[in-house]
Amino acid sequence: MRIYWYCFIFLLSFDLGAQATELNVMSFNIRYPNPNDGENYWPNRKDKVASMITYHEADIIGLQEAFKSQMDDLQALLPDHFAFFGVCRTDGSVQPQPDNEFSSILYRKDKFEFMEGNTFWLSEQPEAVGKAGWDAALPRIVTWAKLKDRSNGKVFFHFNTHFDHQGEKARANSAKLILDRIETIAGKHPVILTGDFNCIPEDEPYQILIDEKRKGHLDDAYFMSYTPPHGPNGTWTNSFEVPGVAGRRIDYIFIKNQVKVLKHGILSDSWGGLLPSDHLPVLIKIRF
């Protein structure tokens, strides 16, 4: 009788696993197309960036520093089941003139149905297009998407951002604003937040995001992984130095609401000493 009971438990767990949503999430600052980068200029890196996405089987990617021209290149290099969502931080358009940064979301349209999405600005007036907030040097945005898994109908939200590199007040207030907006927009649905936060774990913005006393706080996927984190412990490379600067973990994936992290990796793949970007991408496998 005990054998039959074990078999029943095994089959039940297998069935529940089959119904669960599992996906690979990546956060990737791909570095804007700067001609002064020499051998690391975007035309020499774009194939490497596309290869990172395809080889590591990312299902949904939060991109930072992605110009429209770069997204066009990736669209041509990646399989046609990928789609982009987002607008430019300077004018809120999809065809900015001149070109500038998006915090776009790249997702597999064969796996996920796009339900709705939007962008807000990290400032005192989040709906004011192109406005730099507080002491920020540049306009900063959050792009979000509500997606549904085509295989089982499960709905989740992905938020993607890039915090300012200079404004300390801006980064702290951006963290508070994001928590409030996620709470309002996503409710109790599973949430993924990807981004380049321009801060290390000891800094105030990070501490705001994970503060358990704060309503709507998030969990850092790095510490929630069922398996030990893979790769170096920094994501900033100090201008394409391999394998990056130890301890400078400034790119994160945060989670909330019944998201289980099966594994976490900071990917230091290189091609003969050349990196795909000046940031190392972060990859997690999750289950809802």
Q: Nearest to residue 20, comparing CAs of 190, 186, 160, 144?
A: 190
Residue 43 φ then ψ, to 5°: -55, -25
- Residue 153 makes CB contacts below 8 A (sequence gap 6+) with none
Q: Nearest to residue 276, comparing CAs of 16, 61, 43, 11?
A: 43
pLDDT 10s per residue in the chain (288 long)?
Answer: 444 443 444 444 444 444 677 899 999 999 999 999 999 999 999 999 999 999 999 999 999 999 999 999 999 999 999 999 999 999 999 999 999 999 999 999 999 999 999 999 999 999 999 999 999 999 999 999 999 999 999 999 999 999 999 999 999 999 999 999 999 999 999 999 999 999 999 999 999 999 999 999 999 999 999 999 999 999 999 999 998 999 999 999 999 999 999 999 999 999 999 999 999 999 999 998
Q: Nearest to residue 103, comparing CAs of 37, 199, 30?
A: 30
Domain positions in the chain: 2-287
In this prediction the pTM is: 0.93
Measured distance CA(137)–CA(123) in Å, rounded: 12
Q: Nearest to residue 230, comparing CAs of 273, 278, 283?
A: 283
Architecture of the domain delimited by 2-287: 4-Layer Sandwich (3.60)
